[in-house]
Each structure stands twice: as C-alpha cells, then as structure tokens.
C-alpha cells in the first residue's frame, strides 16, 4: 500500500477514494506492479492476466506525457481482447490531446477532461449498476 501512495498520482488516489466511499469497487494497478517496461511482451502478458482475473467493466488510465504511448499500446491490446471493456483516459496528457485522441484513436471510448472529483461518481455509476444486474 505504501508503494502505491508514494508512486501513484495523487489524482488517481483521490478518485479511487471517492469511488470507494460510494461503494464502487476499483483497483489501482501501477505499471511497476505489472512488470518491467523494458520487457514489453511480458509486461503485456502480465497486464492481460491481471485483467483476466478481475474482468473490470472499465479500465481508466491516468495519462502523462512520459507514459502516454504505453497507455495507448496497452489500451489497444485490451480493446482487441475485450471489445466490451470501456477504456477511459484522464490526466494531463489526454487533457491536452483530447480532441486528437478521440478523433484518431478508435479504441479509446472516453476522455475525462479537467478535475474529476465531481465527475467520477456520476460517470462510473451507470457502468457499475449495469455490472450488478
Ligand atoms: C505534483 C506533480 C508531480 C509530483 C507527483 C506526486 C504524486 N504522487 O502525484 C512529482 C514531483 C512526483 C511529479 C513528477 C513528474 N511529473 Co508532475 N506534476 C505535478 C503537478 C505540479 C500537480 C499534479 C497534481 O497532483 N495535480 C492535482 C491532481 C488532483 O490533479 P490531476 O493530477 O490533474 O488529476 C485530476 C484529473 O487529471 C482528473 N482525472 C485523472 N484521471 C481521471 C480519470 C477519470 C475517469 C476522471 C473522471 C478524471 C480523471 O481527476 C484528477 C483529480 O481531480 C502537475 C502540474 C499541475 N499543476 O497540474 C505536474 C505535471 C502533471 N507533471 C508532469 C510531468 C511531465 C512529470 C514527470 C514526467 C517529470 C519528469 N520528467 O520526471 C514526472 C513523472 C513522475 C512519475 N513517474 O510519477 C506534467 C505532465 C505533462 C503531460 N502533458 O502529461 C505536469 C502537467 C507539469 C507540466 N505542466 O509539465 N509531478
């Protein structure tokens, strides 16, 4: 837990705690827990294994310029394997490239711009309810 607090973006932690307070389950998976990015094939295999175990309705990326290419490569693999899984981006990089990303990258379903504290619960609730039925 301490590792996640030290390494994970504060924005992600804030949003996860809002979901938790509202009884919507979510899991934060930092890239370093998935694997070593220099061995990308294993990194992808590990990511698929993690997602296969939990089968989330939504995968959300906190995007930053230094890792946006990784987010997008992983998102493409996820969408190919699970077309019904929604892929969402938030954070500074998708914020500034929101129009270009949505226009050019078909496997990104939503981009949440700006701060997310007021958006996260109303945005996630319908997906959560759909999953409960
Ligand atoms: C604090 C900070 C850091 C801290 C991070 C501490 C931490 N654990 O979070 C430190 C010093 C470690 C850091 C390092 C780096 N940083 Co920095 N950092 C910032 C800073 C000043 C504030 C970020 C912040 O916490 N904001 C407050 C939170 C609450 O807002 P937020 O992050 O935007 O998150 C909100 C939204 O994005 C949205 N959101 C996000 N995801 C989602 C998902 C959904 C579904 C929804 C609805 C909403 C949503 O909701 C969140 C909560 O409101 C910003 C500049 C700025 N003023 O924003 C730069 C900034 C984010 N950093 C930046 C960069 C480049 C880096 C480094 C890569 C620099 C480097 N070369 O090493 C490293 C990366 C380190 C790493 N691997 O994590 C850039 C990113 C630019 C970009 N286009 O991506 C920024 C924007 C600075 C800049 N103007 O260049 N950084």
| DSSP string of 88-127, one letter each residue | EEESHHHHHTHHHHHHH-TT--EE--S--TTTHHHHHHHH
Domains present along the chain, CATH in parentheses: 2-132 (3.40.50.280)
pLDDT one-digit tens code per residue, 5-32: 567 899 999 999 999 999 999 999 999 9
What's the DSSP call for residue 54? H
pLDDT at 90: 97
What is the 93 CA–ligand 1 centroid distance (Å)?
A: 9
Stated length of the chain: 133
Q: What is the largest CA-CA distance in the chain?
A: 40
Classify residue 20 by burial, with Cβ atoms within 10 Å: 0-12, 13-18, 19+: exposed
Cβ < 6 A, ligand 1 pocket: 9-11, 14-15, 60, 62, 64-66, 88, 90-93, 96, 112, 115-117, 119-120, 123
pLDDT one-digit tens code per residue, 47-92: 999 999 999 999 999 999 999 999 999 999 999 999 999 999 999 9
Q: Is the model's pLDDT at 115 over the cut of 70?
A: yes
Three-class secondary structure of residue 39 per DSSP: coil
pLDDT at 127: 84
């Amino acid at each position: 837990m301490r590792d996640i607090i030290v390494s994970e973006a504060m924005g992600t932690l804030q949003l996860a705690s809002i979901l938790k307070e509202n009884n919507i389950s979510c899991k934060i998976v930092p890239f370093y827990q998935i694997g070593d990015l220099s061995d990308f094939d294993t990194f992808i295999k590990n990511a698929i294994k993690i997602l296969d175990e939990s089968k989330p309705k939504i995968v959300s990326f906190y995007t930053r310029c230094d890792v946006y290419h990784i987010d997008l490569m992983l998102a493409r693999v996820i969408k190919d394997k699970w077309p019904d899984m929604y892929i969402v981006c938030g954070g500074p990089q998708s914020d500034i490239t929101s129009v270009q990303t949505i226009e050019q990258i078909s496997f990104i379903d939503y981009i949440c711009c700006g701060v997310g504290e007021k958006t996260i619960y109303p945005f996630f609730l319908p997906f959560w309810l759909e999953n409960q039925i």
